[in-house]
Structure 1
Amino acid sequence: MARVPSPAVSPAIVGRPLYEPPISFHQTPSASADFEIERVTSPRGQPRPPLHRAVSDYANDALLQTSIGNVIAAKAHPFAVSGRIPVDPATTLTLFFRTKSGITHSLDFPIDVDYDTPPALDVLIAACNPHPRVRDDAKSESLFYRPKLPLTTSLELANHPILEAVRNTLFPTLSGGHYLQAVRDKLEIVPTGASMDEQALPGDSRVATVVVTLPVRFRGGSFVVHPPEGGGETFEGHGGKSGPMEWIAYLSDCTAEVEPVQKGCRITVSYAVYIKSFGPAGVAPERPDPLITPNDYFLDNLAPIFNILRGRTIAFYLTGDYGVSPADVLAESLVPYLKGGDSILYHAIKLYKLSPELRWTAGGYIWPVDRSVECGPEVIDGNSYGSPGRRPQSGGYGASPYVEGDEHVINLRHRVEQSGAIPLAEADIVLLADKDTSGSMSGTISKERVPLVTGGLLDKLVVNILLVVYVA
């Protein structure tokens, strides 16, 4: 069937109806699975009318295509996000600061400097220093409050889900067990006629910056964020009017500037955002800054263990249940999710500059750190489902009802060894566990389960987690 040539139509309008009334489409088989070709016929079987398009239509198509590309690019790599903080009209936002003379002042918001300028605002401006970089078009200097002087506000950032919004937008791939923490950075003031140029990037380990605009009326003063690859995103703002306060968050490799304030005064408080974990095993191990620190009692009892067993590889059982399948994940992937005493022990060992690792263990065998628990099919007497006519009892490996010498135990050991596990004795690992008066191990240990087919029935292989470390 001959293919009807299509007119020269911009890619931006593909899929848009061009004719009225709507035209029925009949699909024609395509030679390629990647393409779908449609043949257009009119409802009355008449030939398709010629396409006539004005020059302005092509200009609109070019603008449309450019806008589509910009939206898709911004969606793929977001570097800034903004929102609003609801303000209770019945409460007053207050800023407390202390000048170099040692006198403490308070400044209540909202403020309209054109109507009434509080004396405390003049004191605050006098206590500030000018920014080192100034825009060429600035008629006056932008200011920042001296970092060494005390400053606090009645605004509690933790009372608002700003960090959660920042995480979902700017850090969507942040792994579990890691959290964002905000620390107040500085207060900046851009008065009438002033603007703020791009300042030097901070040299700390922050991952983002959150800027909150205090309710002071101003006009102009748009906030512009520039990503490292160029370009920028402008946040106009609503000029400190009554109502919700505005906040803007941007990544640490971006720079920001404020365009000239035409009227009023723009006052902002910025917060440095850091990634934290419950211990040194964070996404940036070269800069460990944990949220928790093991106490001295715990560390003092670890010291003699490391001194006595120096040069040996030791292992502790974990005690938490993490609800994962050892057949699907590596034990090492549980590090960000460690909880309770498991987390304290892991990060206490890290403080001794050692390198702990998590590994799966079952029935006196241990799997390598880079292997999951993968037991192959059961093969007995050439049959993949065990001996004919025999129904094995279900149970976990290494526990009742399996008994030593049972053919299914022997077969299971073979399957475990085929999956890469080796006996603990061959691995030369000293297993440390507390024992009661009868010599049995006391306390609970982690138990994860792997589906296992034995004799045609579905069992569950109980797998434990070991924290293994070589004491250097």
Structure 2
Amino acid sequence: MYSAIPPSLAPTLAPSGVARGPSPAVSPAIVGRNLYDQPPSFQGQSEDFEIERITSPRGQPRPPIRRAVSDYANETLLQTSIANVIAAKARPFAISGRIPVDPATLTLFFRAKVIGFLWAPILPRLISARQSGITHSLDFPIDVDYDTPPALDVLIAACRPHLQVREDAESESLVYPTNLPLTTSLELSNHPILEAVRNTLFPTLPGGHYLQAVRDKLEVIPTGASMDIQAPAGDSRVATVIVTLPVRFRGGSFVVHPPEGGDELFQGRGGKSGHVEWIAYLSDCTAEVELVQKGCRIAIAYAVHLKSFGPAGVAPDPLITPNDYFLDNLAPIFNILRGRTIAFYLTGDYGVNPADVLAESLVPYLKGGDSLLYHAIKLYKLSPELRWTAGGYIWPVDRSVECGPEAVEGSSYGSPGRRPQSAVYGASPYGDGEDHIINLRHRVEQSGAVPLAEADIVLLADKDTSGSMSGAISKERVPLVTGGVLDKLVVNILLVVYVA
């Protein structure tokens, strides 16, 4: 009664000995193989689903990081390199870049006085340039090995040696006299070089401060010469910018020495590319130029100064001056309220969160009439300050609007069970009681705010016939949770000053 069962229909026994249903046909090529061992291009089908694996399986180990044996075999070298990169990133002291300008469009204009001495090799070229005070123009690019323009010989003859020269130098490095006029068709203001210097070397420079570049000197380093480390300029500069003119040279690497060590070397291309190269470094660093092996290295140095053309800063130097009409109307206010603390509302909107910033931080960004009023008060040698205010309360100058948490249920401040409605702070946002207003006032007082009456501040504002304040005032908004609903607390800005 027994019949032979084909092997394909024989039941498959589980390890526990329980018989299972017939298994689907499985290719012998994958029998006994883990599915996670399939290559990424494996496609499997299960009923109506089609699965395509794109990423590597989790069970497959990742390939090891490829390292060059000569560079990264030593773990100490790797850690040292990482530490050096992090240290250099923490305090960058020098940067370099290129100005995308065609060198053929550059021209250097200079004036040379009567030449009292002539170099014998260039005597024929300088005979026509012996006039007093003649202006010369030097066109770029220049390759002195191919052709030396006569104007370059005149420029070199007008230069004087550096004050500090290497003893082992074959020739002297030169500098153009600062008392002679010199200009170039390349204007730094047409290129965002100072903006790049500010973002890299002065990332924490506050608002209202600007970098201003003033041409310092022109340096000429011929073949066989090098520039030794020069003494600090001793002026008020915060950085120095070196623009290398497109004259072909070889060698002459620019080396910057920071006070804490770790020199930075910049190898100039010598006018080979279609760009003009520049280097900037901080004023507490010194610099030198290595030996010029071939050609001539010509560079213009600019002194970068820090200026404040607004009301902010230690020594502010504003560009605007209020007119006499404005000052004449401000003088009686100061005379009558002498010895009192007065305050004006600001009228501009600055789009900040009073919970995150201090009102005093808005000084460099004052605009319109707010800036005019601030500058006028500064002309009277007074010390104005900006402070947050809301609902008859004022915050200290060193405090932001940080209202505390809402009172919990059972507290004497408010009833959390009531659903609030959004409204401007100071009015009654709840039609069924004032307990939430009391709660909000308590939170404001806990954040450090005090009533204007207790602060003894005279608020100056223009009022209409109904007694209401006229004119627009600044409004900044702080997110505030009241009764489980997110509202916005409207905050104003006061310009507060004590009239001495």
What range describes the TM-score normalised by the shorter chain of this pair?
0.7 to 0.9
AA in 1 matched with 2:452: L
Cα deviation, residue 183, structure 1: 2.6
AA in 1 matched with 2:100: P
Cα deviation, residue 112, structure 1: 1.7
Residue in structure 1 matched with residue 424 of structure 2 by the alignment: 396
AA in 2 matched with 1:398: G
Residue in structure 2 matched with residue 446 of structure 1 by the alignment: 474
Select the residue among 233, 237, 244 that pairs with 1:202: 233
Other structure's SS at 1:250 match? strand
Is the aligned partner of 1:142 residue 2:173?
Answer: yes
Q: In structure 2, do the counterparts of structure 1 residues 126 and 344 end up closer, same or farther at CA, with 3 Å as the change threshold? A: farther
Cα deviation, residue 172, structure 1: 2.6
AA in 2 matched with 1:195: S
Residue in structure 1 matched with residue 108 of structure 2 by the alignment: 95
Select the residue among 99, 102, 113 that pairs with 2:144: 113
Is the aligned partner of 1:375 residue 2:403?
Answer: yes
Is the aligned partner of 1:314 residue 2:342?
Answer: yes
Task: Determine what percentage of the aligned residue pairs are the same residue.
Answer: 86
Is the aligned partner of 1:172 residue 2:203?
Answer: yes
Cα deviation, residue 402, structure 1: 6.8
Select the residue among 77, 85, 90 that pairs with 1:76: 90
Matched positions, count:
414
Deviations 1:433-456 (A, max 9, x none): 334455443322110112233344
AA in 2 matched with 1:467: L
AA in 2 matched with 1:159: N
Cα deviation, residue 401, structure 1: 5.2
Cα deviation, residue 215, structure 1: 0.6
Q: What is the CA–CA distance in structure 1 between the aligned matches of 2:202 and 2:214, rounded to whole Å? A: 18
- Contact 2:357–2:400, Cα closer than 8 Å, also in 1: yes
Aligned positions of 1:262-341 closer than 5 A: 262-282=293-313, 285=314, 287-290=315-318, 292-297=319-324, 298-299=326-327, 301-341=329-369
Q: What is the CA–CA distance in structure 1 between the aligned matches of 2:70 and 2:149, rounded to whole Å? A: 55
- Contact 1:385–1:454, Cα closer than 8 Å, also in 2: no
- Contact 1:211–1:248, Cα closer than 8 Å, also in 2: yes
- Contact 2:72–2:78, Cα closer than 8 Å, also in 1: no
Q: What is the CA–CA distance in structure 1 between the aligned matches of 2:195 and 2:393, rounded to whole Å? A: 42
Q: What is the CA–CA distance in structure 1 between the aligned matches of 2:158 and 2:499, rounded to whole Å? A: 55
Q: In structure 2, do the counterparts of structure 1 residues 277 and 103 end up closer, same or farther at CA, with 3 Å as the change threshold? A: same
- Contact 1:86–1:245, Cα closer than 8 Å, also in 2: yes
Using the size of structure 1 for normalisation, the TM-score is 0.78
Cα deviation, residue 64, structure 1: 4.4
Structure 1 residues 155-164 or 172-181, which shifts more? 172-181
Is the aligned partner of 1:229 residue 2:260?
Answer: yes
Cα deviation, residue 372, structure 1: 1.8
AA in 2 matched with 1:76: A
AA in 2 matched with 1:171: F
Cα deviation, residue 277, structure 1: 4.1
Using the size of structure 2 for normalisation, the TM-score is 0.74
Q: What is the CA–CA distance in structure 1 between the aligned matches of 2:216 and 2:394, rounded to whole Å? A: 48
Q: In structure 2, do the counterparts of structure 1 residues 304 and 128 end up closer, same or farther at CA, with 3 Å as the change threshold? A: farther
Q: What is the CA–CA distance in structure 2 between the aligned matches of 1:201 and 1:416, rounded to whole Å? A: 54
AA in 2 matched with 1:88: D
Cα deviation, residue 250, structure 1: 0.6
AA in 1 matched with 2:291: P
Deviations 1:292-338 (A, max 9, x none): 33344355554444344332212121122122222222212222333
Q: In structure 2, do the counterparts of structure 1 residues 416 and 252 end up closer, same or farther at CA, with 3 Å as the change threshold? A: same
AA in 2 matched with 1:95: L
AA in 1 matched with 2:92: P
Other structure's SS at 1:354 match? coil
Q: What is the CA–CA distance in structure 2 between the aligned matches of 1:113 and 1:240, rounded to whole Å? A: 12
AA in 2 matched with 1:132: L
Residue in structure 1 matched with residue 274 of structure 2 by the alignment: 243
- Contact 1:434–1:442, Cα closer than 8 Å, also in 2: yes
Residue in structure 1 matched with residue 10 of structure 2 by the alignment: none
Q: What is the CA–CA distance in structure 2 between the aligned matches of 1:402 and 1:203, rounded to whole Å? A: 66
Cα deviation, residue 346, structure 1: 2.6
Gaps of 5+ in 2: 1-60, 62-68, 114-131
Gaps of 5+ in 1: 1-42, 44-54
- Contact 1:368–1:421, Cα closer than 8 Å, also in 2: yes
Deviations 1:71-99 (A, max 9, x none): 3332332211111112236x520112233
AA in 2 matched with 1:85: I
Cα deviation, residue 246, structure 1: 1.0
Residue in structure 2 matched with residue 38 of structure 1 by the alignment: none
Q: In structure 2, do the counterparts of structure 1 residues 68 and 365 end up closer, same or farther at CA, with 3 Å as the change threshold? A: closer
Select the residue among 113, 125, 131 that pairs with 2:156: 125
Q: What is the CA–CA distance in structure 1 between the aligned matches of 2:213 and 2:297, rounded to whole Å? A: 22
Cα RMSD for the two superposed structures:
3.1
AA in 1 matched with 2:257: H
When Rg is computed on C-alpha atoms for both structures, the one with the higher figure is: 2
- Contact 2:208–2:310, Cα closer than 8 Å, also in 1: no
- Contact 1:386–1:454, Cα closer than 8 Å, also in 2: no
Structure 1 residues 245-254 or 107-116, which shifts more? 107-116
Other structure's SS at 2:215 match? strand
Structure 1 residues 93-102 or 243-252, which shifts more? 93-102
Q: In structure 2, do the counterparts of structure 1 residues 239 and 439 end up closer, same or farther at CA, with 3 Å as the change threshold? A: same
Deviations 1:419-472 (A, max 9, x none): 222221221212223344554433221101122333443332211011111222
